[in-house]
Structure 1
Amino acid sequence: MKDNFSKQAAQYSKFRPQYPDEMIDYLVSFVKNKGVTLDIATGNGQVAHKLSQVFETVYGIDISQNQLDNAIPKVNIIYKVAAAENTLFKDQEFDLIMVAQAVHWFDFDLFYKEIYRILKPEGIFAILGYGLFSTNSDSDKILRNFYHNIIGQYWDAERKYLDENYKTIPFPFNEIVTDPFENKLTWTFEELIGYLETWSATQHYISKNDSNPLDLIRDDLKISWQKSDKKVTFPLLLRIGKLK
């Protein structure tokens, strides 16, 4: 598993979009027993926090201590540093195991072997994510150029799984057909730029070139954004399954 987000953990916590409650409620509706759940690669703990309102105990693991230091605290959430492929939990411990916006970084073979070990026989496994957002047409042109051309070569190879809406990842489970979801938000320009700076490719570009690629589009994007309704729409990705 790669760690692309420790460096900007505080920014990640501040600017990454939340998953809408209706999507989390929908996912939880498939889980019979609301005992113990695991949020893998929990990051800032945003999903763990939502799950803590339903489950008795929530575990959130991440390979980044810096991410966990910025995670949302709650009495029934236990955060631990651990890898997705080697969680150190006991066999058949969890009613729900989920991973949001991170499965593409994992060693699939090792990860799924671990899921089969620690998920209860009647438990639910879920993958959440979100693809490239869309907004007004003028800003979209600037942002697509930024995504594909300016920082395109700096994306890790695993990013393709998100571009393919998680449809091409291995999924060795009895899959449950799910409803579609979107996340509609209204952003200030600061929130837009803040989110773009959390992109791993943006950070890779900065590391390699000692300059911020956002400076190449900032002025044009700001003018475009000020003229727009400032609305963004994320396509949400969801795959749910049970053990075979």
Structure 2
Amino acid sequence: MKDNFSAQAKGYAQYRPTYPEEMIKSIASLPAMRIRALDVATGNGQVAVALAKYFDKVYAIDISEKQLQQAPQVSNVSYSVQPAELTNFPDRHFDLITVAQAIHWFDFGAFYKEAHRLLKTRGVLAVMGYGNIKTNPHSDAVIQRLYKEIVGPYWDAERRYVDENYETIPFEMMEEEAPGGFENRFTWSFEQLTGYLNTWSAVQHYIKANGTNPVDLIKDELKKSWAQNDGNVVFPLFLRVGRVYRYD
């Protein structure tokens, strides 16, 4: 599993979009029991904290200690530094495992083997993510130029799974139809928009390689187009669900 986000952990916590309550509630309703959930690659704990309303105990792991330092402290949420593919939890311990906007960084085979070990019989794995931001036509064109032309060569190869809405990730679980139709809508200031763009891993790779921030190359044009907008942004959401079946 890659760690592309420790360097901008604070910005990630501040500017990355959360997931809507109706989506979290729908995911939480899938397992037969709500005793223990595990949020893998939790980052700043967004999903873990949301799940805490529905489960007796939520465990949240990440390989980045800096990311975990940004996570809210909630009484029934326990954080630890652990990789997705090899954890220290007992067999058949969890009713639900979630992965949000991170599975494309994993060693798929090793992770699915671990998830199968950790989940109870009929336990659920829910893999979710969000696509590219949508705003207004002019701003979208500017953002797409940043995404494809300016930082395009700096995206990790795994990014293609996000572009393909997770439809092409290997899914080594007994998959079932997932609840759908979710999207995230926000009203953002220009500062929030550029703050989000600066959390892109490709932007950070560009900065490391060139010593300059690529967001600055489109900032004036983007600000001009944003002034004509009402600040509305939309993130399309995607979800895949698998369940463990055993006969023993």
Q: Give the TM interval when normalised to the shorter protein.
A: over 0.9
Q: Which string of whole-angstrom CA distances, capped at 9 and with x for unpartnered residues, describes residues 163-192 of structure 1? A: 000000011222221222111111100000
Distance in 2, Cα, partners of 1:51 & 1:213: 36
Q: Is the 8 A contact 2:112 2:173 kept in 1?
A: no
State the match for 2:34 in structure 1: 34
State the match for 1:181 in structure 2: 182
| TM-score of the superposed pair, with normalisation by structure 1 | 0.98
Deviation at 1:199, TM superposition (A): 0.5
Deviation at 1:242, TM superposition (A): 0.4
1:1-244 matched pairs, under 5 angstroms = 1-178=1-178, 179-244=180-245
Distance in 1, Cα, partners of 2:58 & 2:70: 17
For structure 2, the residue ranges without an aligned partner over 5 or more in a row are: none
Aligned length: 244
Q: Which string of whole-angstrom CA distances, capped at 9 and with x for unpartnered residues, describes residues 127-146 of structure 1? A: 01001111100001101111
Structure 2 residue matching 1:223: 3-state secondary structure = helix
Q: What is the alpha-carbon root mean square deviation over aligned residues?
A: 0.7
Structure 2 residue matching 1:73: 3-state secondary structure = coil
Opposite residue 113 of structure 1, the aligned amino acid is K
Instruction: Please identify, of 87-96 and 167-176, the stretch whose mean Cα deviation from structure 2 is larger.
Output: 167-176
Distance in 1, Cα, partners of 2:91 & 2:136: 48
Distance in 2, Cα, partners of 1:177 & 1:94: 21
| TM-score of the superposed pair, with normalisation by structure 2 | 0.97
Instruction: Please identify, of 72-81 and 173-182, the stretch whose mean Cα deviation from structure 2 is larger.
Output: 173-182
For structure 1, the residue ranges without an aligned partner over 5 or more in a row are: none
Structure 1 residue matching 2:226: 3-state secondary structure = helix
Distance in 2, Cα, partners of 1:27 & 1:133: 23
Structure 2 residue matching 1:120: 3-state secondary structure = strand
Percentage identity across aligned positions?
54
Q: Is the 8 A contact 2:94 2:119 kept in 1?
A: yes
Structure 1 residue matching 2:99: 3-state secondary structure = strand
Opposite residue 236 of structure 2, the aligned amino acid is P
Deviation at 1:31, TM superposition (A): 1.6
Opposite residue 239 of structure 1, the aligned amino acid is R
Distance in 2, Cα, partners of 1:153 & 1:224: 25
Query: Runs of 4+ in structure 1 displaced over 3 angstroms?
Result: none
Q: Which string of whole-angstrom CA distances, capped at 9 and with x for unpartnered residues, describes residues 1-35 of structure 1? A: 00000011011000000100000011111121110
Distance in 2, Cα, partners of 1:113 & 1:160: 23
Distance in 1, Cα, partners of 2:174 & 2:182: 21
Distance in 1, Cα, partners of 2:117 & 2:26: 25
Distance in 2, Cα, partners of 1:197 & 1:214: 7
Deviation at 1:230, TM superposition (A): 1.4
Structure 1 residue matching 2:6: 3-state secondary structure = coil
Distance in 2, Cα, partners of 1:172 & 1:111: 9
